[in-house]
Amino acid sequence: MIDETMKIPQHVAIIMDGNGRWAKAHKVPRQLGHKEGCQTLEQTVEDAARLGIKYLTVYAFSTENWKRSEEEVSALMQLFRFYAKRLLGIAKTNNVRVRMIGERSRFAPDLVEAIGRLERETQQNTGLTFVIAVNYGSRDEMVRAGRRMLADAAEGRLKPEELTEQVFSDYLDTAGMPDPDLLIRTSGEERLSNFLLWQLAYTEFYFTDIYWPDFNKEELEKAIAYYNGRDRRFGGRNEA
C-alpha cells in the first residue's frame, strides 16, 4: 500500500486503546489483552523503524490510569518491568533510541532504574526515536513545566518577556522533539484523554475501530495513506 511517492510522517503518535475490549471479545482476562497489546507494540516499533518514521510516541499509561483496580495496575506494572528488559534488546537490534515522557518518580525504584538504563544505553542509536508515555498526562506535564519556569524566574534565570512558545516547549517532557504529524487512536474512541495537548496543535488525527491488539503494519500503512490524503495547513490557506 505504501509506495515511494508517499510522504512518511516524521513523527507518529499513537493512543493504544482497546486492550480491555479485545480481551472481553475473546472471553479472556483483561491482563491478556494488555499482554497482546505489548506484542503489538513490539511489532509496531519494528514496522515504524522499517518505514523510516523518525519518531514514534505511544501512550502506555496515563496519570488517570492509576484509578483502575489495584489488580490491573499491578499487572500493568509487571508488564512494564518485563518489556523494559525485552525492549533493550529490540532497541539495540533495530538501532532504536528509547525515551520516556511522564512523571516517573511514582514508579517502583527498580522500574525507574530500568527506564534510566534503557535511555542511557540506547542514547547513541540513530534510527527511530521511540517515546513511551508512562504516568503521562498533558496537564500534569504543563503544570510541572510551569513550576520549573516559576522556579527559574524566581532565581532570575527566566524573565517574563523571555518566555516564548519555543522556550515553553523546551520545558515540556518532549523538549527537542518535533510535534507529531499524525495521531492514531484505536478502538473507536475519538478523544485525546489528556495526551500531548500542546504538541498536537496541528496534527492530523486518524481514528480506527480496530482494538489495539489487532493493530498491525497494514493498519499503520492505512493511517499513513490517510495522512497523505490530507492537505496540511498550519493556519495558512487551502490550495485549490
Asked about 238 being catalytic, the answer comes back as: no
User: Which DSSP letter does residue 182 get?
Assistant: E
- Interface residue with ligand IPE among 9, 12, 13, 16 (CB under 6 A) is 16
- The interface mask with Mg ion, positions 15-44, x = CB under 5 A, is --x---------------------------
The residue written with cell numbers 538504563 in the block is 117
Residue among 38, 51, 56, 60 that touches ligand IPE (CB under 6 A)? 60
Residue 21 CB, nearest distance to Mg ion (Å)? 8
| Given 3, 17, 110, 181, the catalytic residue | 17
Q: Over the range 28-64, which residues count as b (16 or more CB within 10 Å of their CB) and which as e?
A: eebbebbbbbbebbeebbebbbebebbbbbbbbbbbe
Q: Distance between CA 62 and CA 134 in Å, rounded?
A: 6
Window of 39-47, 124-132, 138-146, 184-192 that interacts with ligand IPE by CB under 6 A: 184-192
Give whichever of 41 and 171 is closer to ligand IPE, judged by the CB atom: 41
Binding partner at 130 among ligand IPE, Mg ion, none, C-beta below 5 to 8 Å by kind: none
Name residues whose C-beta falls within 8 Å of residue 48's C-beta, 6 or more positions apart in sequence: 12, 56, 128, 130, 220
CB of 191 to Mg ion, least distance (A): 10
CB of 17 to Mg ion, least distance (A): 4
Interacting partner of 16 out of ligand IPE, Mg ion, none (Cβ under 5 to 8 A depending on kind): ligand IPE
Q: Which of 37, 55, 39, 23 is CA-nearest to residue 199?
A: 55
Site for ligand IPE in 199-238 (CB under 6 A): none
| CA–CA gap between residue 52 and residue 164 (Å, rounded) | 32
Residue 114 contacts residue 83 (beta carbons within 8 Å): no
Question: What ranges in the chain are assigned the alpha helix state H?
Answer: 19-25, 30-51, 70-93, 109-122, 138-154, 165-171, 217-229
Check 19, 47, 65, 94 and give the catalytic one.
Answer: 65
65 in catalytic set: yes
- Active-site positions read 17, 65
Binding residues for ligand IPE, rule: CB under 6 A, are 15-21, 59-62, 65, 76, 187, 189, 191, 193
